[in-house]
Structure 1
Amino acid sequence: MTEISVTLPEKQYQVKIDRGLLAQVGTLVAEQWSPRKIALVSDDNVAPLYQERVATSLTEAGFTVHCYDFPAGEASKSLTVLADLAREMAKDAFNRDDGVIALGGGVTGDLAGFLAASYMRGISLIQIPTSLLAQVDSSVGGKTAVDLDTIKNIIGVFYEPDLVIVDPDTLKTLTQRDLVEGYGEIVKTAALKGGEFWQLIETINSPADIMAHSPELSARSIQYKANVVMADETESGQRQLLNFGHTIGHAVEALADGGLRHGEAVSIGMIALMQIFEDAGRAEAGITAQIKARSEAVGLPTTSPLLTSTKVLDKVKNDKKNRHGHLNLVSLKAIGEPEITSVPSDEIASFLKLPTRDAE
């Protein structure tokens, strides 16, 4: 088993990574929590696969388990669904001594995490991510949120879990598209880190390779993110590096209205941004092609017709990372050499070469 420690000023927790850990959930949770009532939250795709198995393991370990599920998809990451889940917990008499376990992908982790953070002003939380995207990214670092209309993650808080359990065997039930989507975040992290991590990425040439190396890919991604988070928990400084690919990526993802997955949009966003920086002589020649090649090797999209939409500019300007009239853009000078460039909001269209309505 690989164990990664996340140590913050007011919180310390472990990320445990190993095949077959789902069968040990009851034991692992009992090592962390005293007997209590647990809200086991999943979407209606994951619930039939794993919820009963996990609930049984928890029950055998002395916990009282209430299973809740919600419709799968980004649309459920809303205040409405959050209220529905809180209402069910209140009906089942959950109190501050109880806990929430998020069992599922990124939407579940964000939604159930915010549920734990807000129910009775905060109760205990454990993350059990079952998708590659959630395992390598969203389950670690404490970001919890819901969307508002088409604005992603605009309402939320930083709320760290007590434990994260990563079982790579859960990836076997993913569709190939869902598996590959998560790899978009891995390419992002490897490009930021460089070195041996990027060398590993250069050997991944198919979805089968992703599966074969998933424990190491998860461990390397989580360790990098943990190091960044420990240095900057609330994204006031270097944690912004993790937004590489997200500024343009989030805009394209929102405009796709469900047609693009998050990791796919990050892939598109990374490559679009790096081409701009490379063309301007602010990045090593050929770096965009390097990142594009590693994305295309597993079937990730690397461009989108939505990049030519005038609506991209509106989405970018409304990005929640827009601070004090400036937007911080994360790029790479070379693989393993990230930097942050602050651009005034009124210059962002020309800097990113985004189409404007005046150009129509």
Structure 2
Amino acid sequence: MYEIDIHLLENPYSIFIKKGLLNHIGDEIKKIYSNEKIAIITDKNVENLYGKNIIDSLKEKDFDVKLIVVEPGEQSKSIDTLKKVYEELLAFEITRGDLIIAFGGGVVGDLGGFAAATLLRGIPFIQIPTSLLAQIDSSVGGKVAINLDQGKNLVGNFYHPKAVFIDPDLLKTLHPRFFKDGMAEVIKYGCIKDSGLFEQLKKYPSKEALMKEIEQIIYKCCSIKKEAVEKDEKDLGERMLLNFGHTLGHAIEQYYQYKKYTHGEAVAIGMYHITQKSEAIGITKQGSSNLIKEILIQYGLSYSFPEMNKSENIEAIGLDKKNKGTHMNIVLLEEIGKSFIKKIQREEITQYL
């Protein structure tokens, strides 16, 4: 089993990575939680695949389990769905001494984590991510949030789990589109911090070859995120490097109302497009955007910027929660494996569109 310890002054916790981990999750949770009540927040897809497995494993250890199921998809990261989750948790008579499990992909992790952070002023929770994107990114670092009509993750908090349990075997049932979605974020880690990881990804001839080493890949990505979170827990400095491709990506997602593009698909386009522009300006090493384009094609991801109304695109970028005052921060590459944060005047963003 891979184990990564995240050293935070107030909220230290560990990430555990092992194939087959879900089969004995009751044993693992028993090691860190001594009360009886556990509320599991998941979506219908994960419930159908693994709901019985997790409930049986927990009940074997005499936990009192409540399953709360939401609709799959980004639309569930809403105030309406959050309210229903609150109501079910309260009907379960949950207390601040009990435990919530966010069992699903990034949407469930964000929604479940935000519910845990805010109900009764905070209930302990753990993450059991089921998608590649959640396993290598969104389940780690304590960002929890819901969306508003005006944009993605505009209502949120920093609220760390008590532990993250990652079972790569859960990826075997992940829809191919959402495996590609997660690979966009894996590629992002290579772009911003690890050229060796980037080169490693280029060498796999097939998904099957990659899956043989998926534990190591997840470990590498989570280790990069661990370092960023430890240095910059509140996302005010170095952690912002993890947002490479996200400024344009979030705008694409919002423009199409989270229906046409997955998060990773939008980020992939954002990574290539902003690197192409920064390369043309002379900021990024020549050829970097082409390397990104080639690896996106290899993993079945689009790089073409969609047709969008430019003024609406700029407005969406302006609403991004990372932007402050008259300036905004964007993440650019010096070259593959080296990234930096560039502070620009808000109107300068047109150079990167």
Kindly indicate whether the alpha-carbon contact (under 8 Å) linking 2:150 and 2:319 is maintained by their aligned counterparts in 1.
no
Kindly indicate whether the alpha-carbon contact (under 8 Å) linking 2:330 and 2:344 is maintained by their aligned counterparts in 1.
yes
Quick one: which amino acid aligns to residue 18 of structure 2? D
Kindly indicate whether the alpha-carbon contact (under 8 Å) linking 1:306 and 1:312 is maintained by their aligned counterparts in 2.
no
State the distance in 1 between where 2:273 and 2:171 align.
Answer: 29
Kindly indicate whether the alpha-carbon contact (under 8 Å) linking 2:37 and 2:99 is maintained by their aligned counterparts in 1.
yes
State the distance in 1 between where 2:340 and 2:81 align.
Answer: 38
1:136 and 2:116 aligned: no
State the distance in 2 between where 1:76 and 1:337 align.
Answer: 35
State the distance in 1 between where 2:55 and 2:278 align.
Answer: 49
Kindly indicate whether the alpha-carbon contact (under 8 Å) linking 1:36 and 1:97 is maintained by their aligned counterparts in 2.
no
* Percent of residue pairs identical: 39
Determine the structure 1 residue equivalent to 2:298. Answer: 297
State the distance in 1 between where 2:157 and 2:273 align.
Answer: 29
Kindly indicate whether the alpha-carbon contact (under 8 Å) linking 1:18 and 1:215 is maintained by their aligned counterparts in 2.
yes
Report the CA distance between 1:11 and its aligned residue: 1.3
| Deviations 1:13-36 (CA, angstroms, capped at 9, x unpaired) | 110101100001001111111122
Matches within 5 A, 1:33-44: 33-44=33-44
Determine the structure 2 residue equivalent to 1:157. Answer: 157
Quick one: which amino acid aligns to residue 86 of structure 1? Y
Determine the structure 2 residue equivalent to 1:322. Answer: 323
Cα RMSD of the aligned pairs, angstroms, is: 1.2
Q: TM-score normalized by structure 2?
A: 0.97
State the distance in 2 between where 1:348 and 1:290 align.
Answer: 23
Determine the structure 1 residue equivalent to 2:119. Answer: 119
Kindly indicate whether the alpha-carbon contact (under 8 Å) linking 2:19 and 2:168 is maintained by their aligned counterparts in 1.
yes
State the distance in 2 between where 1:306 and 1:112 align.
Answer: 34
1:260 and 2:261 aligned: yes
| Deviations 1:168-196 (CA, angstroms, capped at 9, x unpaired) | 11011111111111000000011111242
State the distance in 2 between where 1:199 and 1:215 align.
Answer: 17
Structure 1 residue matching 2:49: 3-state secondary structure: helix
Q: Is there any run of 5+ residues in structure 1 with no aligned partner, and where?
A: 355-360
Determine the structure 2 residue equivalent to 1:148. Answer: 148
> How many pairs are equivalent?
352
Determine the structure 2 residue equivalent to 1:248. Answer: 248
Report the CA distance between 1:307 and its aligned residue: 5.1
Structure 1 residue matching 2:340: 3-state secondary structure: strand
Kindly indicate whether the alpha-carbon contact (under 8 Å) linking 2:18 and 2:166 is maintained by their aligned counterparts in 1.
yes
Structure 2 residue matching 1:23: 3-state secondary structure: helix
1:333 to 1:173, Cα distance in 2 relative to 1, 3 A: same
State the distance in 1 between where 2:60 and 2:236 align.
Answer: 43
Determine the structure 2 residue equivalent to 1:207. Answer: 207
Determine the structure 2 residue equivalent to 1:226. Answer: 226
Quick one: which amino acid aligns to residue 251 of structure 1? A
Moved more, 147-156 or 127-136: 147-156
Determine the structure 2 residue equivalent to 1:280. Answer: 281
Determine the structure 2 residue equivalent to 1:23. Answer: 23
Report the CA distance between 1:214 and its aligned residue: 1.7
Determine the structure 1 residue equivalent to 2:50. Answer: 50
Report the CA distance between 1:308 and its aligned residue: 6.1
Structure 2 residue matching 1:235: 3-state secondary structure: coil
